[in-house]
Amino acid sequence: MWTAECWPGTRCTGLPRRADGLGGWISLNRPVYPGDPEVTVRPWLSIPRGDPVNVSLLGLGSHTGTHVDAPRHLVDGAPGVDTLALDALAGPALVVERDRVRCLEATDLHRLDLPALRAHPRLLFKARGVGRHPDRSVTLSSEAARLLVQAGVRLIGVEGASVDDASAPDLPAHRLLLGAGIIILENLDLSTVPPGWYELLCLPLKIEGGDAAPVRALLRDVAEGWSQPRPSVARSSGG
């Protein structure tokens, strides 16, 4: 079953006006994607050592914590994270929740109101019960990724470290989405966010030529202030 209950132009019970931080911490104690560099933070200048200020030296991979992928992640010489369109990184976004955690196929996505996404094409996938277990998050098959490209989606967000399933080491969903210019947002924390429409604010560090960059991602409930018409299908269910 898909759930997306709160639509612009409606008054949503139990969903007060607020901002939710979606980002995972960048921390020495947080696991990183296998093969990526570990996070290091060490003092460069230190007041206790007699320096006038504290300054830290940071070491981390570009895919650390909550981050966005740029096309250069998979294609050398492709556009970097510093060229991503800001209007794709900020604006209305739909959080949808799946009560069965698995790699999504195109048939699963057909149960959503995909035409409604053309006006506000940012889609965040939440898996019910994932919480602090992002390894169980929603991933996309190549067929599902191709359907989202056809639907005109501009940004896809998932709770796990990869939009691709672990059984797909060649990263077909990444290749299809990034090849079409769709931004991939990974390592979200949607555990406290009910499904529905929000305003997404997701701005990456402007790393020149970067293949990815950490972000601070926020969702704001602004449903009461929008005039966006209600889509015809708000809830969908199926296998």
pLDDT at 48 over 90: yes
Q: Which residues contact 42 (CB under 8 A, 6 or more apart)?
A: 56, 57
pLDDT at 206 over 90: yes
pTM above 0.85, yes or no: no
Interval 133-158: pLDDT, tens: 556 688 999 999 999 999 899 999 99
Q: Which of 63, 73, 120, 174 is catalytic?
A: 73
Read off the pLDDT band of 217 (50, 70, 90): very high
Interval 67-90: pLDDT, tens: 999 999 999 999 999 999 999 999
Rounded to whole angstroms, the Cα distance separating 138 from 169 reads: 16
Interval 85-125: pLDDT, tens: 999 999 989 898 887 667 888 888 877 777 766 666 899 99
Q: CB 104: neighbour CB atoms within 10 A?
A: 23
Q: Could you give all domains of the chain from N- to C-terminal order, each with its CATH number?
A: 2-24+65-236 (3.50.30.50), 27-60 (no CATH)
What pLDDT is stored for residue 41 in this prediction? 93
Is 73 annotated in the active site?
yes
